[in-house]
Structure 1
Amino acid sequence: MNPKNPREESIFDGALQLPPEQRENYIKAASGEDPSLRQRVTELLRAHEGDGETLKVPAVERLQQITVVTWPPAGEKAGDKIGPYKLLQRIGEGGCGYVFMAEQEQPVRRRVALKVIKLGMDTKEVVGRFEVERQALAMMEHPNIAKVFDAGATESGRPYFVMELVRGIKITDYCDQNKVPMAERLRLFTQVCLAIQHAHQKGIIHRDIKPSNILVTMHDGVPVPKVIDFGIAKATHGRLTDKTVFTQFEQFIGTPAYMSPEQAEMTSLDIDTRSDIYSLGVLLYELLTSRTPFDPKELLASGLDAMRRAIREQEPPRPSTKLSTMLAGDLTTVAKQRHAAPPKLIHLVKGDLDWIVMKALEKDRTRRYDTAAGFASDIESFLSNQPVLARPPSSVYRFQKWVRRNKVAFAAASAVALSLLLGGAGFTWMYFREKQARHLADLEAVRSGQVAAFLEDMLKGVGPSVALGRDTKLLHEILDKTVERVSRDLKDQPGVQAELCNTIGEVYRAIGQPGRAEEMHRNAHELQSRGASGKSADAATSLNNLAMVLCDQWKLPEAESLHRQALELRRKIYGNTNASVAASLNNLAIVLRKEGKLAEAEGLHLEALALQKRLLPADHTDIAASLNNLGWVYRDEGKFGDAEDAFRQSLAMQKKLLGENRPGVAITMDNLAFVLCDQGKFDEAESLERHALELQRKFFGSDHPFVATGMKNLAMILGDRGELGQAEELSHQALTLRRQLHGEEHVEVANSLDGLALLLRKEKKLPDARPLAEQALAMRKSLLGDTHLDVSSSLNTLGLISHDEGKLPESERFYRDALSLQKNVVGVEHPFIATTLNNLGLTLRDEGKLDEAELDLRQALAMRQKLLSPQHPAIAASEKDLNSVLSLEGKEAVRTGQISKR
């Protein structure tokens, strides 16, 4: 007995989702004024109950699509062959077809998924839809979409196609079973969005996006979502096949809980890609809350017309509202599945994520995201603490996002929030409207959530003058008082205390107070290292935070040790499936670069970058940061061209994602200017550096370490251009600021001393230059050790000063010591080595050691010609210096490029 039309099957499928006692009322409501329709559906149900094995369709598949269903005879079974494929077991079934796991032996041996139409089901409509799915999949090539390998027909003429076997589970089940945190859920979701975007670019609308059609499988230990089942797909331009005509008019296509309002119309209204945007919004809603906007059972029980009306007209609750109105036990379960406390989960979802989801769920499709890629981009903005497009861009809102990125205004909010919390002020939280939720075990999570929520609200009351660092004295006072209260009044709340210590530490670090930041992060680390919590993700975060602030202060051995511990812990927790592992790799590599361990640093940066490219979209702020960090390693290795490329890629990506005026953009611009100066590209370097310094002063105020670095770098560029007066003034300012920020003994102070000494030497102020250079050398040896690459820079500076003072043997000794150290650290070829050889050659020339001078100057020129661009001014300088020796020897001068051809 066959359903005669799509509406008949729609009602039949809907009835199967309900308990038997509810089916009669549903069928009556759905059939309306058509008693014959009601009778046919009732008879179908009786036949189904009598032959359950013949139409055994899982609940998640029954609502998949509307097809012509018939009662087929027994079809293929395990052990049979279809074409060259041996059927192993049935792994799926829909109304019109079976899906088998099959084995292919030739030309390659592999297991595949084979989908075949059931016997007796090869109607024109079913064949049309089958062909649609095959062609849709065949058109696409994307890592998050199941691939089609082959197609054919059985001996009886029924079509089949063979596709990639996706061994996975529904995305929602994967996330819940593995207690995937919210950030990782969102990153998985962005991959799904980009897969759907690919389909849209190929002219395909999926029309049935739901968890059972998105499976998560593991590739090399990394979770990868795969979009499957394009069985009711639609072409955006024309038909995929002439056989699809029966799916195109007045049919109820899709799964009601995930169906867009225009799909629910059941009219000839054109369905475009924005219908998939709506379904993606429902999927995101479920990933956030474990619920769909409309309860599927309630939709079906309400009858067909009421169901369509609800989808078209009824506004669903925001995700945060859905969470806050759950029963306490349900909310606790949902929160645990997201690795969060209930109040913290509600707080996280409330705001931006609410706006993002509700934009995707707009009834008016013109108000939804235009593209799936745009949807994914807004999620990335949320993850990066950037303004999202989904909410009105008010000045208050944009300022809140700036504050989150810069961590400055948290201090004032913390003081007020803590005074209310610790002083016993009453908080009202929707989660606690049910009395049974007030049990002692939730107390710590509750208070933590309250603090986080209140801090969020308090941001609106913080003025821009404070946020931009113009009232740092007041800010420091507020922070200091907050710290006193945290340590005094939260001794019985270690989890809350640790969380606040970490937050306050980040504020101190952001405003250039690394010593206070270290104190707070040490407190957080000690609190979270006790007992089982010492092996948690939060403990890894505390280790990472403490290590970063130690790195800021050049306390490198301890920073390296802590970063290695954080990396080990994160790998134990996540394997290589979490972006925090890549962050730890990056942070450890930064320390290693500062220690001069360049080869290991480069390897870790490349490993981090590869992991991020697997886990994250192609354009992501984490990837931009990794490229920036890799650029520094390349620069120290003397690979100036590679460094420039890395910095430029990072800068372009940040501008694309964040816009021009962002702190990270200013920092990367500064780095790019530095390496451009290394290559003699002084015009672009100066322009970039001036712009970067302007932005840094705007974002960080006038007394921040980044500003000191910008001034020092600009002074270096101006010095190389011969603008010595302005360069000296800036260099003095940078040194003064660094001493104020770091004290007398600090690596950055040593860097400024050395840079200023070089400028004074160029100005012939040798009595002023020597003591600064000697102080820089002593400080670098004390802080970094005798074998650090920075020590060779100081030796070179003193060699230059000694040469100009006429102390040639001393100059020679400094250069030879520098050369020996550099070769031990960076090998035998490096631009720094070429510089030292050139300097040594000039000293040997003036000592009358012409043979040795010629040899060293030839090596320096050859090395520069090999490592630097042909236009680099250092090459011309080397040729001039070598020719000065050749002239004294009565030899022919070298011509441009001559050395490199020998």
Structure 2
Amino acid sequence: MDLCNGMRRMIRTPRSLRSFKRLVEAQSANANMKTKREVKLEMDKVLRALTVRNNKSHEDTDVPKEEDCFYMNFCMNKSLEHAMVMAPRYSLLREVGRGSYGIVFEAIARRTGARVAVKKLQCNAPENVELALAEFWALESLGKKHENVVQLEECVLQRNGMAQKMSHGNKRSKHYLRLVETSLKGERILGYPEEPCYLWFVMEFCDGGDLNQYILSRRPDPHTNKNFMRQLTSAVAFLHKNNIVHRDLKPDNILISQKSGLPVLKVADFGLSKVCAGLGALGIDGEEHPTGDGGGGGESTDVNINKFWLSSACGSDFFMAPEVWEGHYTAKADIFALGIIIWAMLERITFIDAESKRELLGTYVRQGSEIVPVGEALLGNPKMVLHIPQRTRSTMSEAVRKLLQDMLAVNPQDRPDAFQLKVRVDKVTCAG
């Protein structure tokens, strides 16, 4: 199913700044939204003690077993006394964000005392299921951790009064397979009960807000800018090495952790991401078409992610590459989005979002009294020359200016790939 077809934004005024996820939110908003207190009570029920044993070992994980699932009111032995002394695994502290298809809470892991972020996603529509599964598949597919990519601790599926730890590709779980089928068909499955179904993502907590908040609340600092450039390019190179195209890189989706005392960037929100390796074998949605010998199913080191073509024109308007607006692009679209982010960060170029009234980092092109995303402007006029830097008193070096020009090239083939970019960024940030 191609969620993004027919949802291309026509950007002409600041009021029309809408990301793909805001469109999903408008379409699938829950008319019976629970109050914060109700959500808290429900979360306390759902996130009870749950062992981390691999539930693939069971022949049918839909049959409740004490090892990996539980009833919301009591456990398998139906002992209410036992249930009452069972402490929840996480204690909810507060709601920290409400996005297009989920709610994020700050919580504490009772066993370790560590702070975590818990995201609740309601799988009440095929488009929500697809977004949730895309995020789960992307984060679960990462065999290794990276300092600049948000870490998934666990994912729990809640349905029919039961919660079950999710594992990627678990073909023995009927609930998991039904979610996949719902996403693939783009419609509710016949005979599938209309009862609430949720995915709960437990992730590392980032206490420094997002990149917008961090940059705009502080004085310009060249050292921080260079450090962030290295972290961002390192994260994208890691994702591309693991065959993941993010497709929605923007300051809102880059979180800050300050646990070590220094700001550490964390690329987050993988709802629009694509795991490209092995798509031919898995048949997830038939969207990607590998060319040459980069084709489906090999190890990450054997796959050239830039040979996988994607066709969904989705993302966030101000960070979409020209080819994304056309609906035919590769992982090089992430490089373009990263160029917009770095350019805006270095020169503090912002706009006011008409919906949230927030000041956001983002580079654009002025056409009369209107502002237009760089990608859309280049699509309309491929010969347009971008004025980098924009500000007359900018201290941007020639090496950084040339790097941004290459990252924002109209032709994706003229852009560096993520690995070439990482090498160049290391050089230009060390030289200056």
Q: Residue 265 of structure 2: which of 225, 234, 237 is its match? A: 225
Structure 2 contact 106–115 (Cα < 8 Å) conserved: yes
Report how far residue 197 of structure 1 moved: 0.9
Partner of 1:353: 400
Q: Residue 285 of structure 1: which of 343, 349, 353 is its match? A: 343
Counterpart CA distance in 2 for 1:157 and 1:247 is 26
Structure 2 contact 8–325 (Cα < 8 Å) conserved: no
Deviations 1:155-214 (A, max 9, x none): 333222211111122224323423242243022111111111111111101111111111
Report how far residue 64 of structure 1 moved: 4.7
Partner of 1:134: 136
Partner of 2:107: 102
Aligned amino acid, residue 209 of structure 1: L
Partner of 1:196: 236
Aligned amino acid, residue 101 of structure 2: C
Structure 1 contact 125–244 (Cα < 8 Å) conserved: no
Structure 2 contact 237–422 (Cα < 8 Å) conserved: no
Counterpart CA distance in 2 for 1:379 and 1:364 is 20
Q: 1:379 to 1:163 in 2, by over 3 A?
A: same
Q: Does 2:391 correspond to 1:323?
A: yes
SS in 2 for 1:215: strand
Partner of 1:756: none
Q: 1:131 to 1:242 in 2, by over 3 A?
A: farther
Q: Identity over aligned residues, as a percent? A: 20
Report how far residue 83 of structure 1 moved: 2.4
Counterpart CA distance in 2 for 1:257 and 1:296 is 13
Q: Residue 321 of structure 2: which of 260, 264, 268 is its match? A: 260
Structure 1 contact 171–214 (Cα < 8 Å) conserved: yes
Report how far residue 285 of structure 1 moved: 0.6
Q: Residue 254 of structure 2: which of 210, 214, 227 is its match? A: 214
Q: 1:262 to 1:133 in 2, by over 3 A?
A: same
Alignment of 1:82-161 (within 5 A): 82-84=46-48, 85-106=90-111, 108-118=112-122, 121-140=123-142, 141-154=145-158, 155=161, 156-161=196-201
Aligned amino acid, residue 115 of structure 1: K
SS in 2 for 1:169: coil
Deviations 1:527-576 (A, max 9, x none): xxxxxxxxxxxxxxxxxxxxxxxxxxxxxxxxxxxxxxxxxxxxxxxxxx
Alignment of 1:10-409 (within 5 A): 19=15, 62=19, 64=21, 67=24, 69-72=27-30, 73-75=32-34, 77-80=39-42, 81=44, 82-84=46-48, 85-106=90-111, 108-118=112-122, 121-140=123-142, 141-154=145-158, 155=161, 156-239=196-279, 245=285, 251-266=312-327, 269=328, 271-291=329-349, 292-295=362-365, 309-314=376-381, 315=384, 317-320=386-389, 322-324=390-392, 343=393, 346=394, 348-371=395-418, 373-385=419-431
Alignment of 1:374-773 (within 5 A): 374-385=420-431
Counterpart CA distance in 2 for 1:178 and 1:87 is 30
Structure 1 contact 281–360 (Cα < 8 Å) conserved: yes
> How many equivalent residue pairs?
310
Deviations 1:632-679 (A, max 9, x none): xxxxxxxxxxxxxxxxxxxxxxxxxxxxxxxxxxxxxxxxxxxxxxxx
Aligned amino acid, residue 323 of structure 1: R
SS in 1 for 2:431: coil
Counterpart CA distance in 1 for 2:19 and 2:366 is 13
Structure 1 contact 289–319 (Cα < 8 Å) conserved: no
Gaps of 5+ in 2: 49-89, 162-195, 289-309, 350-361
Q: 1:301 to 1:192 in 2, by over 3 A?
A: closer
Report how far residue 10 of structure 1 moved: 5.5
Aligned amino acid, residue 364 of structure 1: N
Deviations 1:318-373 (A, max 9, x none): 322x112xxxxxxxxxxxxxxxxxx4xx2x315221101010001111111122x3
Counterpart CA distance in 2 for 1:298 and 1:71 is 36
Q: 1:272 to 1:11 in 2, by over 3 A?
A: closer
Report how far residue 308 of structure 1 moved: 6.8
Q: 1:296 to 1:195 in 2, by over 3 A?
A: farther
Counterpart CA distance in 1 for 2:131 and 2:264 is 27
Aligned amino acid, residue 383 of structure 1: T
| Higher RCO (C-alpha 8 Å, min separation 6) | 2
Partner of 1:585: none
Aligned amino acid, residue 364 of structure 2: F
Deviations 1:741-789 (A, max 9, x none): xxxxxxxxxxxxxxxxxxxxxxxxxxxxxxxxxxxxxxxxxxxxxxxxx
Aligned amino acid, residue 261 of structure 1: P
Larger Rg: 1
Counterpart CA distance in 2 for 1:237 and 1:300 is 40
Structure 1 contact 132–241 (Cα < 8 Å) conserved: no
Counterpart CA distance in 1 for 2:336 and 2:375 is 15
Structure 1 contact 285–357 (Cα < 8 Å) conserved: yes
TM-score, normalization by structure 2: 0.62
Report how far residue 100 of structure 1 moved: 2.0
Deviations 1:228-250 (A, max 9, x none): 11110012224499695398775
Counterpart CA distance in 1 for 2:109 and 2:41 is 13
Counterpart CA distance in 1 for 2:319 and 2:151 is 24
Aligned amino acid, residue 191 of structure 1: Q
Structure 1 contact 216–225 (Cα < 8 Å) conserved: yes
Aligned amino acid, residue 74 of structure 1: M
SS in 1 for 2:314: coil
Counterpart CA distance in 2 for 1:235 and 1:91 is 28
Q: 1:360 to 1:308 in 2, by over 3 A?
A: closer
Counterpart CA distance in 1 for 2:369 and 2:157 is 39
TM-score, normalization by structure 1: 0.31
Report how far residue 251 of structure 1 moved: 3.7
Q: Which runs of 4+ in 1 moved over 4 A?
A: 4-12, 61-66, 240-244, 246-250, 295-302, 306-309
CA-based RMSD of the aligned residues comes to 3.5
Q: 1:6 to 1:383 in 2, by over 3 A?
A: closer
Structure 1 contact 90–101 (Cα < 8 Å) conserved: yes
Report how far residue 98 of structure 1 moved: 1.8
Aligned amino acid, residue 77 of structure 1: V
Q: 1:160 to 1:223 in 2, by over 3 A?
A: same
Deviations 1:396-451 (A, max 9, x none): xxxxxxxxxxxxxxxxxxxxxxxxxxxxxxxxxxxxxxxxxxxxxxxxxxxxxxxx
Counterpart CA distance in 1 for 2:260 and 2:128 is 38
Q: 1:148 to 1:18 in 2, by over 3 A?
A: same
SS in 2 for 1:152: strand
Aligned amino acid, residue 67 of structure 1: V
Deviations 1:231-281 (A, max 9, x none): 100122244996953987754310111111221112xx2x32211111111
Deviations 1:696-752 (A, max 9, x none): xxxxxxxxxxxxxxxxxxxxxxxxxxxxxxxxxxxxxxxxxxxxxxxxxxxxxxxxx
Q: 1:319 to 1:183 in 2, by over 3 A?
A: farther
Partner of 1:811: none
